[in-house]
Structure 1
Amino acid sequence: MPSSSVSRRRLISSAVVGALGGPGVARALEGGENSKVFVEPERELPMVRDADVIVCGAGPAGVSAAITAARAGAKVRLFEWRGCLGGVWTAGLLGWLIDFDKPGLTAELKRHLTERGLNRGGSESNLCYDPEGMKLLLEELCAEAGVMFQLHTKVSAAFKEGNRLTTIVTESKSGREAWRAPVFIDTTGDGDLGALAGCAFEIGEAEDCPCQPMSLNALLVCKDVGLLGDFVRYNETAEEGKSNSDKKDLFRAEIERAGHFPSYSKPTLWQIRDNLLLVMMNHEYGVKPFDAAAVTAATVRARAELHRIVNGLRALGGGWEGLQIAATAEQIGVRDGRRIRGRYVVSAEDLKTGARHEDGVTRATFAVDIHALSAEHNKKAGYTNRGIKTQPYDIPLRALLARDVEGLMMAGRCISGDFIAHSSYRVTGNAVAMGEAAGVTAAIAAATKRLPHEVDWKEGAAKLAAMRQRG
């Protein structure tokens, strides 16, 4: 593993041979053919120093952090390894926004989605949206704010001077590049940057990683959505009086009638527009999101299951006649990744008592939502709150500040919290609010030459309020 000390690898300010390989790659492997370790040859990388804030990961938290930091006056770099902004909203085909009744960017996004005809309905806090339209909207908002975003780019190394993160290395078709900034924000979802920088983290409920399951969603096309109204959430043709739970049970019964039992026992259909539907009916259990081979296997299994079930439904005829998969998600949806240890750990007790904090950056209201941790659990219930009644609770800024590394913040599901609390705050309405808080704090820190933990949240809250008032 590379050291996080800058002295291990020279990082210089001009492009040199080695960014895409060069002579260094051809050097002999020390240790011979039987060695199990490859010593990567030292090479010089191009260094870029044009940002005040660098955000790694352009999911809901990342785009929110980047937009907010840029609007607060910072020069912002945003890196995303997929081919679009939005993360689980877009590449993951989530299709559903939860805990979205908040001020700021959540309200702004909701307004834009409605104006563009991309809001398919729901309530003030929970709504269905068009993932493809969301891609364009996020790109436009980032461009308008002046965010310098780069797709197809992944953070691969982190380097510190003392205990302060100062430099990251990315990999892309442009090769390996080094980037330096005063403040960094980890919004990778899985805490990739925090782990690379040497932060302590937790994952799952215990050491053997009984993680929440992953889910691969898909877009479907049908001949007439009106014939499927009783199975589809917020469809205007549905019979009055059927709850969301009723529709899930009815949909599962149809899948069983087709000869299958879904790996997620509470399958859900949404209408995106016209005859375009989105489906969630897959669970992949116990997969670590940073094990590429395991995630690959889970993705292959999931896609095969989706096709089997859709083929079975189509064979039923009636409203299912002509049902087709238009696309499966580019990225399998991950619920449970690394939780980077911060200066505060959001806990189950916070949810039970409705904790309040002077540095509370948002108030979360979503219930404990632990999806079945195994196929056996799935047969009994698709998800559970473990008997915990969530009271509205604050997420403090301290949970967004890395404990072990200075100059590093987190936002989204990789913030500091325990397994139970994470199952509540992980939803994307909270991720947006956390991103805003991290973005404005990072911008203030960079502008005033302070570390993020030296910025009082009163400053950040006042700055956010002024920005929102300006509209």
Structure 2
Amino acid sequence: MTNQRISTIEVDVVVVGAGPAGIHAALAAGRGGAKTVIIERYGFAGGMSTAALVYPWMTFHTTEGKQVIKGTPQEMIERLMAINASPGHVRDTCGFVHTITPYHPEVYKVLAVEMLREAGVRMLFHSFVDSVEVTDDHIQSVTLTSKSGRIELKAKVFVDTTGDADLAYLSGAPCLQGREGDHLTQPMTMKFRMRGVDLDKVKSYILQHPDEFYRKTPIAELPDLYLSAVQGFYKHWKEADLPIKRDQVLFFSGPEEDEVLVNMTRIQGLDGTNVEDLTLAEELGRKQVLMVAEFMTKSLPGFEKASISQVGAQIGIRESRRIEGQYTLEMGDVVEGKRFSDVIARSGYPIDVHAPSDNGVIVSWVGGDGAYDIPYRCLLPKKIDNLLVGGRCISTSHEALGTTRLSPSCMATGQAAGTAAAIAVMHKLTPQDVPISLLQEKLQEQGAILFGDVRDGQHD
């Protein structure tokens, strides 16, 4: 029998998952003075934004162009812009939202690690949590399986930014999955890139056939805009009659001038937390990639010389487990544009639910001033007293998850979770006892937008 020696590391804060939420959680905790470790199963940061090619980031603004997410996410955008790895916030030329934010994923991987190192965060990549020690609803430690053996991490506060609520689930915190009743989740998508695309030819076709594209496409402005996104080609997709439950073509430009990111495959009815389902989803998704790419090169103007340049390292997961928190954000809260006294982040992205079992997308728009609040209580599980959650697995309904799952929202809730963790450590509190006024003050000092009229900071 192999002798597996376990080494032990003691820190203040452990962040599990180095996706968009985890990066900003660890940054906030480290900058807040907490001795912080971040855990990631891949050898690079970025999570869905890199491993699954989720691109571009959408959105930091309301549908009217008012910016509601800043803080460390905006700092990261500005640093990417400074090294020519992002054009910043640009108009969404399919018109679904006002802005999207392209970025170069390979540069993002490097910058994210640089920023984590600057904040004093220790990184344990090529590792994942496989067991959790809990005493009286308090996490004592987590144990990692890694390339160099098993590692025990002891900490005062833990932050789950896995997207799948892995840490919360293993600790015994109550979790939910999918929609009420049948527990089906939004479909998974294997994304891929193509190069050799003539985007000028694509734009010309859109201008000549506007009725074949999404109704909100800004046709009148399109000649003067960078073609950032395309949604439509309805006639071409219908004629192709592929065995994929989707009703349109969708792709985004970049990062290279002749390159697009294709978001069209759809795998339904499988569980993103089940290893056999995930294996099958990867198999089916990669087959669909080849099918869709062949359709695009044969049928779409501008794609005649295009070819696949990259396929995701893993399939993209929109929905899996989420915590049952001290408050559950509901669909009504979003469409009302509800404000909360314990707000820790805002978002202007609409509810966007890809149908778990048919070919449509259900969209519900944000009311009020165009943005809604995410309360701190959504980051706090009902049971475990030293656990915070950020990103896709915060406490929401199935419908409300259709907006909070987007990367900028995940970045914002991650920043809030990491800031709260640092406050809890510095003041010897549990996350539940962190004064909301102090947390909000710290977030605002970091540039987060929590209060006031979102008409301030309008995007041009």
Task: Give the structure-1-normalised TM-score.
Answer: 0.83
1:84 is aligned to 44
The 8 Å contact of residues 329 and 396 in structure 2, kept in 1 or not, is answered as yes
- 1-side partners of 2:59 and 2:222: how far apart? 26
Name 1:107's counterpart in structure 2: 74
Match of 1:319 in 2: 302
Match of 1:74 among 17, 31, 34: 34
The 3 A distance-change label for structure 1 pair 112 and 235 is farther
- The SS at the match of 1:114 is helix
Q: 3-state SS of the aligned residue for 2:401?
A: helix
Letter in 1 for 2:175: F
Structure 2, unpaired ranges of 5+: 61-66, 92-97, 207-212, 449-460
Say whether residues 1:122 and 2:90 are aligned partners: yes
Structure 2 CA distance, aligned partners of 1:261 and 1:208? Answer: 24
Name the SS for the 1:110 alignment partner.
helix
Q: For 2:114, which of 130, 135, 140 is the aligned residue?
A: 140
Residue equivalent to 1:283: 266
Cross-structure match for 1:54: 14
Given the alignment of the two structures, is residue 268 of structure 1 paired with residue 250 of structure 2, yes or no? yes
RMSD over aligned CA atoms reads 2.8
- In the TM superposition, what are the counterparts of 1:180-329 in structure 2 within 5 Å? 180-222=154-196, 224-229=198-203, 230=205, 240=223, 247-250=230-233, 252-256=234-238, 260=242, 262-272=244-254, 273-316=256-299, 319-329=302-312
| Alpha-carbon offset, residue 79 of structure 1 | 0.5
* Residue 18 of structure 1: aligned partner: none
Q: Structure 1 residue aligned with 2:362, among 378, 384, 393? A: 384
Tell me the equivalent position of 2:456. Answer: none
1:266 positional shift = 2.9
Number of equivalent positions: 421
Work out the CA distance in 1 between the residues paired with 2:176 and 2:300.
47
Percentage identity across paired residues of the two chains? 29
Q: Deviations over 1:194-238 (max 9, x none)?
A: 0000011111113532211111110111153333335799999x9
Q: Distance in 1 between matches of 2:119 and 2:246?
A: 40
> Which residue matches 1:414?
393
1:45 and 2:16 aligned:
no
SS in 2 for 1:129: coil
Partner of 1:10: none
Whether the 8 Å contact between 1:72 and 1:467 is mirrored in structure 2 is no
**What CA distance in whole angstroms lies between the structure 1 residues aligned with 2:253 and 2:103?**
9
Q: Note the C-alpha offset of 1:103.
A: 2.1
Q: 2:384 aligns with which of 400, 405, 408?
A: 405
Superposition deviation, residue 370 in structure 1: 0.8
Q: TM-score, normalised by structure 2?
A: 0.84
Larger Rg: 1
Q: How many angstroms does 1:131 deviate by?
A: 1.8
The answer to whether the 8 A contact 2:237-2:248 is kept is no
Where in structure 1 are there 5+ consecutive unaligned residues? 1-20, 24-42
Structure-2 separation of matches of 1:197 and 1:418: 21
Q: Tell me if 1:335 matches 2:314.
A: no
Distance 1:243 1:284 in 2: 31
CA distance in 2, matches of 1:350, 1:57: 28
Letter in 2 for 1:87: G
* CA–CA separation in structure 1 for the residues paired with 2:284 and 2:193: 17
SS at match of 2:231: helix
Question: Structure 2 counterpart of 1:59, which letter?
Answer: G
Distance 1:363 1:309 in 2: 36
Tell whether the 8 Å contact from 1:258 to 1:309 is kept in structure 2 after alignment.
no
Deviation (angstroms), 1:58 = 0.7
Q: Name the amino acid aligned to 1:48.
A: I
8 Å contact from structure 1 (residues 77, 148) kept in 2? yes
Q: Which structure would you say has the larger RCO, counting Cα contacts within 8 Å and 6 or more residues apart?
A: 2
| 2:452 matched residue in structure 1 | none
Letter in 1 for 2:21: A
1:364 corresponds to which residue? 347
Corresponding residue for residue 63 of structure 2: none
The worse-fitting range, judged by mean Cα deviation, of 410-419 and 99-108 is 99-108
Please state how far the C-alpha of 1:300 moved relative to its aligned partner.
1.0
Classify 1:467/1:384 alpha carbon distance in 2 versus 1 (closer, same or farther; 3 Å): closer
